[in-house]
Structure 1
Amino acid sequence: MRYELYYWTGIQGRGEFVRLALEDAGADYIDVARKRGDKAIMPFLHGKQEGALPFAPPFLKAGRLVIAQTSIILAYLGPRLGLVPGGQSAEIYAQQLQLTIADFVAEIHDTHHPIASSQYYKDQRAAARKRTQAFRDERLPKFLGYFEQVLERGNGQRALSRHSYVDLSLFQLISGLDYAFPNAMRRLQTRTRRLRALAQRIDERPNIAAYLASPRRIPFNEDGIFRHYPELDPTA
């Protein structure tokens, strides 16, 4: 099957979690908006296409299916791309972990947009500083500590009994956090050794390495989820 991925151009965003799974598996897919522009997304959001009505990208078209929400897309793709161990319990656990990653991503986004997504960062900078301090001190170590424990239970090297889409998503988390909060992440290095080792292994997977070196991998920037504002990541 040839999959169609719909996500905004110019940013990695939540679509990158799906893109990494497709790239790692060598799946046949088209990144529709990058070929046709963001206007290709709008008929789906306006209910002018057959299938489920997505609230926002990313969504995936697989045959006649339209599947929205990053975690649900990955739950659908996982068994089909060999990116989740077999069995109901493994699939449910993978979904649980991916939904926890989604919670984490939402909190990361809210560090720079704590009041409203419709407002520019510059218009909520004071609130962002306050929100991000709590994030750095409390939520960042809590989430990373949880995923360290997940890896410890998964033989220290992966989230599940074998390579999965959850590992790819953890790689994206570490990569994005290193970009957005290099100082805070440096202070947590000794507490995130398993996550860093996992990220290094994912980085070296042949299909991922080729993708990261290609123009298909959009660089992190200040329009996406992971943004680097020096005032939100002090050295001490």
Structure 2
Amino acid sequence: MAYQLYYWTGIQGRGEFVRLALEDAAAAYVDVAREEGDGVMTAWLDGEHDGALPYAPPFLKSGRLVIAQVANILQYLAPRHGLVPESESKRIYAHQLQLTIADLVAEAHDVHHPVGAGLYYEDQKDEAKRRAKEFRESRIPKFLHYFEKVLDRNGGKHALREFTYVDLSLFQVMSGLAYAFPKCMARQKLPLLRDLARRVEVRPNIAAYLASSRRVPHSEDGIFRHYAELDG
């Protein structure tokens, strides 16, 4: 039975981290809102279905299970599709790394919405410029140099010495930050992360996905947004 993925149409957003895992694993799934429209999620978010109540998309339906939060979804999918080692310690470490990625993604979002998610970017541009400077000069280097060290400590090729879902998520982070902050990212010395991103990009299932219409482009409606005034 195919998984059912619920996420907003027209953007990559947080749902893309889940899509990459499903695509790499060649898992059967339906991107429900893309077929039925965003309104299909309303009943779930209003609690009109049985099972766990998601706070927000993405969430995944697998049989009777309803699983929300990116790291939680990936922790569920990974052992079922060979995207994490069997060792409990390595699974815990993979989850730890994914939660750190979630922290980075949240900070990337808050660059263009530093005052409130319910306000337009144009309503908080001055605050966004200030937030972006701190993000470019301090937070991007701190996060990415941490992940560079993670790769180095594990042989330089993968976050956990073998391919896992964390590698897919690091690819998405590198892709999103390169789109949103091209000048800043061009200045970063990240040989291991850049090599990892290139190797993920050419994995057969990922390459096919990236070339397909299922991979929507980055845009100013998603998490990673490019505004020239925020790139320094």
Shorter-normalised TM-score: what interval? over 0.9
Identity %: 64
TM-score, normalized by length of structure 1?
A: 0.97
Matches of 2:137 and 2:42, distance apart in 1: 39
Q: Which residue number corresponds to residue 197 of structure 1?
A: 195
Displacement after TM superposition at 1:87 (Å): 1.2
Matches of 2:31 and 2:190, distance apart in 1: 33
Contact 1:154–1:161 at 8 Å: present in 2 too? yes
Provide, for residues 88-123 of structure 1, a one-character-per-residue CA deviation record: whole Å limited to 9, x for no partner. 001100000000000000000000000000000001
Contact 1:11–1:218 at 8 Å: present in 2 too? yes
Report the 3-state secondary structure (helix = DSSP H, G, I; strand = E; otherwise coil) of the residue aligned with 1:41. helix
Provide, for residues 39-98 of structure 1, a one-character-per-residue CA deviation record: whole Å limited to 9, x for no partner. 111111000011100000000000000000000000000100110011100110000000
- 1:213 equivalenced with 2:211 (yes/no): yes
Q: Which residue number corresponds to residue 26 of structure 2?
A: 26
- 1:184 equivalenced with 2:184 (yes/no): yes
Report the 3-state secondary structure (helix = DSSP H, G, I; strand = E; otherwise coil) of the residue aligned with 2:55. coil
Q: Which residue number corresponds to residue 95 of structure 2?
A: 95
Matches of 1:91 and 1:18, distance apart in 2: 17
Q: Which residue number corresponds to residue 157 of structure 1?
A: 157
Runs of 4+ off more than 6 Å: none
Over the aligned positions, Cα root-mean-square deviation in angstroms equals 0.5
Matches of 2:153 and 2:165, distance apart in 1: 17
- 1:166 equivalenced with 2:166 (yes/no): yes
Report the 3-state secondary structure (helix = DSSP H, G, I; strand = E; otherwise coil) of the residue aligned with 1:26. coil
Provide, for residues 127-186 of structure 1, a one-character-per-residue CA deviation record: whole Å limited to 9, x for no partner. 000001011111010000000001011110000121100000000000000000000000
1:31-180 equivalences in 2 (<5 Å): 31-180=31-180
Q: Which residue number corresponds to residue 6 of structure 1?
A: 6
Give the counterpart letter for 1:31 in structure 2: D
Provide, for residues 190-220 of structure 1, a one-character-per-residue CA deviation record: whole Å limited to 9, x for no partner. x211000000000000000000000000100
Contact 1:85–1:161 at 8 Å: present in 2 too? no
Report the 3-state secondary structure (helix = DSSP H, G, I; strand = E; otherwise coil) of the residue aligned with 2:80. helix
Contact 1:5–1:61 at 8 Å: present in 2 too? yes
Q: Give the aligned length.
A: 232
Ranges in structure 2 where 5+ consecutive residues have no aligned partner = none
Matches of 1:195 and 1:87, distance apart in 2: 24
TM-score, normalized by length of structure 2?
A: 0.99
Q: Which residue number corresponds to residue 229 of structure 1?
A: 227
Give the counterpart letter for 1:227 in structure 2: R
Give the counterpart letter for 1:127 in structure 2: E
Matches of 2:177 and 2:21, distance apart in 1: 19
Matches of 1:62 and 1:145, distance apart in 2: 36
Give the counterpart letter for 2:179 in structure 1: Y
